[in-house]
Amino acid sequence: MAKSLPVSPLAPPRFPDLPQIAGVRFASVEAGVRYKGRRDVMLAALQPGTAIAGTFTRSATRSAPVLDCQAKLGRANGDGAAILVNAGNANAFTGTRGVEAVEDVTASVARELGIAQDRVFTSSTGVIGELLNAERITCRLAELHGGLTADGIADAARAIMTTDTFPKGATAEVTLPGGTVKIAGIAKGSGMIAPDMATMLVYIFTDAEVPQPLLQQMLSDLTDRTFNCITVDSDTSTSDTLILAATGASGVAVGESEGPFCDALHGVMLDLAQQVVRDGEGATKFVEIQVSGAASPSDAKTHAMAIANSPLVKTAIAGQDPNWGRVVMAIGKSGAAADRDLLSIWFGDTLIAEKGWVSPEYQEADAAAHMKEQNILIRVDLGLGDGSATVWTCDLTHGYIDINADYRS
Amino acid sequence: MAKSLPVSPLAPPRFPDLPQIAGVRFASVEAGVRYKGRRDVMLAALQPGTAIAGTFTRSATRSAPVLDCQAKLGRANGDGAAILVNAGNANAFTGTRGVEAVEDVTASVARELGIAQDRVFTSSTGVIGELLNAERITCRLAELHGGLTADGIADAARAIMTTDTFPKGATAEVTLPGGTVKIAGIAKGSGMIAPDMATMLVYIFTDAEVPQPLLQQMLSDLTDRTFNCITVDSDTSTSDTLILAATGASGVAVGESEGPFCDALHGVMLDLAQQVVRDGEGATKFVEIQVSGAASPSDAKTHAMAIANSPLVKTAIAGQDPNWGRVVMAIGKSGAAADRDLLSIWFGDTLIAEKGWVSPEYQEADAAAHMKEQNILIRVDLGLGDGSATVWTCDLTHGYIDINADYRS
């Protein structure tokens, strides 16, 4: 069982006021899947015509619910739809009985709500390798159905937490030629103390009317610039799931040219992604890494991720040490193109290194002052081309070891 | 300056008795490059005809001495040769003045010993981004020259340490049709508490007579099975250097078919590589990861390294937690081919998972008992093909954070 952790020092001051999204209702219950005395199952019911898009972990050992969701994406929107999520058990690496549990739950939800089974999407997060007792969920479906309410999203955000230290939500409103639409999303991750990897689940809802192929395209593009640009510890879950549902209830259509909707969705996704980093296991610093001047955008991201995932860079940040030598090391090992003698490195606004050596004006006191802040910026210019990328991470502290080593499941 | 660390609990009981290798003599001095009160510069002088082979870091930001060594490899053996190593300053990311320092040192050594400058190889290990004061080394060359002795290798092993907690040596003797030859090697790494990456330096000497191209081929092949199969924290140094010198002084020639010599050299290299892991920063467990049944040998190594580098696997080992779910996760994220339902996993001799789920006979107490040992074995079979690989690593503990975050340079 989980022991309770102090709320991350990087948490936002409070959970945001999320608006009701027309066409979606939420319910959550204490089903006792693993945790006691807290909500651990949430249901979202979506009106007929809702378009659903998703992105998922690329793990070769992905969980049964992930495989089931992937198989169902892109089907016709005519019917209503549902998303059911449980916390406490990931239903991953559970063989054919794991597949049967997904089948049980999705069939039962379809029956309860009177919708097609291939419009029921599930996620499971928590311990892996243990069987999911589907009955603990299916026996509560009538109660969940009866409890569906348009303002249940905040409780839903809490029901999907495993050992997150705070619930995560974000919202946006955008005015289009046809009217105003709303977006609201919730996420969980990355503060696990159960004996598993940091799984990430994200659900975003909008009352905009968006054709499913366009919705999927937007989601995939924006995922590459948001959730695929964060890292806590370089370990990838078997269960990562991001589902975006557009109910169309506003009657406002989003066409291919609707940049403002895309921008608003980007803002919600980036906010949620950064909240996941802010709840990184043991995190005390929020770190943005900007790379420019790379030979290509993918080289820029490779360098940025090499810096963000380096244990030596992350421990230096934890120690408030402006250790730019470790940034040089991470760039050197990344495998992407770099020329030592064209590199420039800044910590905050302080230029530290240029032309292959420390800058003549560099005063360590300036960089050291920046390292004492809670939000750290590391900026690198490769001097090779136009490729750029920005990623976000946190530091590596004793808290990470406490959570993942000292605590035995 | 370094604070002193307790000797690793994984250290061998004592430094081995290394034999004299005919054709090579050693000297070391307290030059005060950075450390006080200890030897920090070593010189090895090699007789004319010595063949020299080397492997080096692939970092794009490699240090000036590494680039200089790489440029010199493969030249004619006629002249004598020398290896000079300093600890305390890595001469990495030091621009043109770093290149000048290498030029100063190698020219001075060549002049002192009366050999060609392109037969002088240097390494520097320690702080990066600070200028190497070459004069602290060059002013001691006469003393080093005068102090050369055939039995100086143990002092040399100590002189190249940075914050290693023990000196590292290994030896072998092998009888060939033409007579008996000896091999002796020394290494440093990976217990840095200076503000840098864990650099690794290795020097191996033999009195066998081996043509340089064959020596280089043997070294490169064996490096892939030894030093390229260890990891402490996934971070790659700017300075990693491995030099193998064959003096030929035994008069015993090693031809292409000399398997026994290759096996003996493999044994010395593996021993030194494993000693580096045993001195991994904060290590309390020595971990062997065996992967079999992969689609190819390179897939096997990719899986093995993904497991060995996973912070979640490494913290679970530190916590003595038989957390096989994290091994599944690491295989899933590695990018190499895997089929969840064909995977088998053992901790020690205990079969934990097979056919995509926990084995019916598995008792957690068996695996938990193995995790309490100091030497941990994780074995994975992919069930896909004949590819196999073995790699070695250590656990991730509070000690790693202490060394790299809490200690400020």
Instruction: At A75, list the tokens.
Output: 């089907």
Cα of B228 vs its chain's centroid, Å:
8
Residue B64 included in any domain:
yes
Residue B257 pLDDT grade (very low, low, confident, very high; cuts 50, 70, 90): low
Q: Which residue has the higher pLDDT, B193 or B222?
A: B222
Verify whether the Cβ–Cβ distance A93 to B318 is below 8 Å.
no
A372 inside 8 A of chain B by CB: no
User: Given an 8 Å threshold on Cβ–Cβ distance, is A325 in contact with B407?
Assistant: no
Angle at alpha carbon of residue B115, lines to B110 and B117, rounded to 5°: 50
How far apart CA B182 and CA B314 sit, in angstroms, is 37
Chain A residues lying within 8 Å of B318, measured CB to CB: 401, 405
Residue A194 clears pLDDT 50, i.e. is over it: no
pLDDT tens profile B101-131? 999 999 999 999 999 999 999 999 887 788 8
The mean pLDDT value for B7-23 works out to: 90
Q: Which one of A63, A329, A347, A393 makes the best mutation probe of the B interface by having the most chain B beta carbons within 10 Å?
A: A329
- The string of DSSP letters for B243-261 reads EEEE--TT--B--TT-HHH
Residue B166 lies in a domain: yes
- Whether A127 has its CB under 8 Å from any CB of chain B: the answer is yes
Neighbours of A298 (CB within 10 A): 12
DSSP string, A102-155: HHHHHHHHHHHHT--GGGEEEEEEEESSS---HHHHHTTHHHHHHT-BTT-HHH
**Domain endpoint, select from A278, A305, A330:** A278
Strand order in the sheet with A81-89: A24-29, A41-46, A81-89, A120-127
Say if A254 falls within a structural domain: yes
**pLDDT band for position B193 (50/70/90)?**
very low
Domain that holds residue B315: 286-406
Residues A193 and A99 in one domain: yes
pLDDT of A369 reads 95
Beta strands B51-56 and B241-246: pairing type?
antiparallel
**Other beta carbons less than 10 A from residue B47's beta carbon:** 17
Q: Are residues A165 and A234 in the same domain?
A: yes
Which residues of A are less than 8 Å from B195 in CB distance? 316, 321, 323, 325-326
The residue among B273 and A175 whose pLDDT is bigger is: A175
Which residues make Cβ contacts (< 8 Å) with residue A18, sequence separation at least 6? A153, A154, A169, A171, A184, A186
pLDDT at B188 over 50: yes
B372 lies within 8 A of chain A by CB? no
Distance CA A202, CA A208 (A): 18
d(CA B32, CA B40): 7
**Per-residue confidence (pLDDT) for residue A334, from 0 to 100:** 87
CA atoms within 13 A on the CB side of B395: 30
For residue A396, give how far its alpha carbon lies from the nearest alpha carbon of chain B (Å): 8
Token pair belonging to A206: 């909008």
**Quick check: is A320 in a domain?**
yes
Report the relative pairing of strands A387-394 and B179-188 from DSSP bridges.
unpaired
Confidence of residue B190 (pLDDT cuts 50, 70, 90): low
Of B321, B329, B395, the CB nearest to A409: B321
Q: Is B4 contained in some domain? A: no
| Chain A CB contacts of B344 below 8 Å | none
C-alpha B233/C-alpha B223 separation (Å) is: 19
Number of separate domains in chain A: 2
Tell whether the model's pLDDT for residue A145 goes beyond 90.
yes
* Torsion sign (Cα): B249, B253, B256, B258: negative
Question: Is the same domain home to B295 and B271?
Answer: no
Residue B397 contacts A, CB cutoff 8 Å: yes
pLDDT per residue over A248-277, tens digit each? 899 888 886 678 898 999 999 888 888 888
Q: What is the pLDDT of residue B61?
A: 80
As a whole number of Å, the end-to-end CA separation of chain B is: 7
State whether B129 and A324 contact (CB < 8 Å): yes
Say if residue A155 is exposed, middle or buried (CB neighbours under 10 Å; 0-12, 13-18, 19+).
middle
Contact B356 A406 (CB under 8 A): no
Nearest chain A Cα distance for residue B399, angstroms: 9
Q: Are residues B325 and B392 in the same domain?
A: yes
Q: Return residues 272-311 of B near A (CB < 8 Å).
A: 309-311
Catalytic residues of A: 199
In a domain, B226, yes or no: yes
| A237 to chain B: closest CA residue | B329
CATH of residue A152: 3.60.70.12
What integer pLDDT is reported at residue A1 of this predicted model? 36
Q: Using CA atoms of A270, A276, A277, A281 in order, give the dihedral in degrees to the nearest 10.
A: 180
B317 with B273, same domain: the answer is no
pLDDT at A191 over 50: no
A256: distance to nearest CA of chain B, Å? 34
Q: List, as ranges, residues 321-360 from B with C-beta within 8 Å of A.
A: 321, 323-326, 328-334, 337-341, 343, 353, 355-358
Q: How many CB pairs under 8 A join A and B?
A: 226
Nearest CA distance, A14 vs chain B (angstrom): 30
The tally of CA atoms less than 13 A away on the side-chain side of residue B221 is 11
**Mean pLDDT rounded to a whole number for chain A:** 88
Q: Say yes or no: A195 contacts chain B, CB-CB below 8 A.
A: yes
Find the CB nearest B328 among A234, A238, A358. Answer: A238
Residue pair A148/A25 in contact (Cβ under 8 Å)? The answer is yes
Domain for residue A315, yes or no?
yes
- Residue B236, pLDDT score: 66
Give the residue from chain B lying closest to A395, CA to CA.
B405
Q: What is the mean pLDDT of residues B240-265?
A: 85
DSSP conformation class of B8: P
Query: For B223-247, what is the mean pLDDT?
Result: 77
Residue B136 has pLDDT above 50, yes or no: yes
Could you give the dihedral angle defined by the CA atoms of residues B223, B226, B232 and B237, in that order, rounded to the nearest 10 degrees? -10
CA distance A40 to B33: 60
Lookup result for tokens 């840095």: B192
B194 falls in which pLDDT band (50, 70, 90)?
very low
Residues of chain B with Cβ-Cβ distance to A329 below 8 Å are: 59, 61, 128, 196-197, 235-238
**pLDDT number for residue A84:** 96
Q: Which residue has the higher pLDDT, A112 or A227?
A: A112
B270 to chain A, any CB pair closer than 8 A? The answer is no
Per the CB < 8 A criterion, the answer to whether B41 and B159 are in contact is yes
pLDDT at B192: 42
Dihedral, B92, B96, B101, B104 alpha carbons, nearest 10: 150
Domain end, chosen from B251, B278, B305, is at: B278
Instruction: Quote the tokens at residue B9.
Output: 């609990």
Distance CA B244, CA B260 (A): 17
Helix axes B324-333, B297-309, angle to 10 degrees: 130
CB B88 within 8 A of CB A356: no
Set of chain B residues whose Cβ sits within 8 Å of the Cβ of A393: none
- Contact indicator for A176, A254 with CB cutoff of 8 Å: yes
Is B332's CB within 8 Å of A400's CB? no
Same domain, B231 and B352: no
3-state helix vs strand vs coil in chain A, percent to 5: 35, 25, 40
CA distance B212 to chain A (A): 28
- Chain A residue numbers touching B395 (CB-CB < 8 A): 405
Same domain? A185 vs A76: yes
CATH code for the domain of A304: 3.10.20.340
Report chain B residues whose CB lies below 8 A from the CB of A353: 93, 129
Query: Do the chains contact at A97 and B357, CB–CB below 8 Å?
Result: yes
Q: Which two tokens stand for residue B116?
A: 């060609």
Lowest mean pLDDT among A210-219, A237-246, A355-364, B294-303: A237-246
CB A5 within 8 Å of CB A193: yes
- Cβ distance of A237 and B329 shorter than 8 Å: yes
Average pLDDT of span B311-330: 90
Do A261 and A300 share a domain, yes or no? no
Same domain (yes/no): B29, B175: yes
Binding-site annotation, residues of A for substrate: 162, 188, 199, 281, 404, 409
Which residues of B does the annotation mark as catalytic? Answer: 199
What is the distance between the alpha carbons of residues A399 and A336, in angstroms, rounded to a whole number? 31
* Residue A390 burial (CB count, 10 A): 16
Domain boundary among A278, A300, A318: A278
Rounded Cα–Cα distance for residues B63 and A25 (Å): 60
Answer yes or no: are the C-beta atoms of B347 and B371 closer than 8 Å. Answer: yes
B184 touches B157 (CB < 8 A): no
* Mean of pLDDT values over B42-48: 95
- As to burial, measured by CB atoms within 10 angstroms (0-12 exposed, 13-18 middle, 19+ buried), residue A327 is buried
> What whole-number percentage of chain A has pLDDT above 90?
49
DSSP H helices, B122-258, are: 134-138, 141-146, 153-159, 212-225
Residues A385 and A321 in one domain: yes
- Give yes or no: residues A78 and A212 share one domain: yes
- Residues 6+ away with beta carbon under 8 Å from B302: B334, B335, B336
Residue in A162, A323, A394 to test binding to B, most B beta-carbons within 10 Å: A323
Contact list, B285 vs chain A (CB under 8 Å): none
Let me know whether B228 and B298 are in one domain. Answer: no
pLDDT confidence tier of residue B408, bands split at 50, 70 and 90:
very low
Q: How many CB atoms lie under 10 A from the CB of residue A117?
A: 16
Q: Is A272 helix (H, G, I), strand (E, B) or coil?
A: helix
Pairing state of beta strands A375-381 and A286-294? parallel
Tell me whether residue A240 is in a domain.
yes
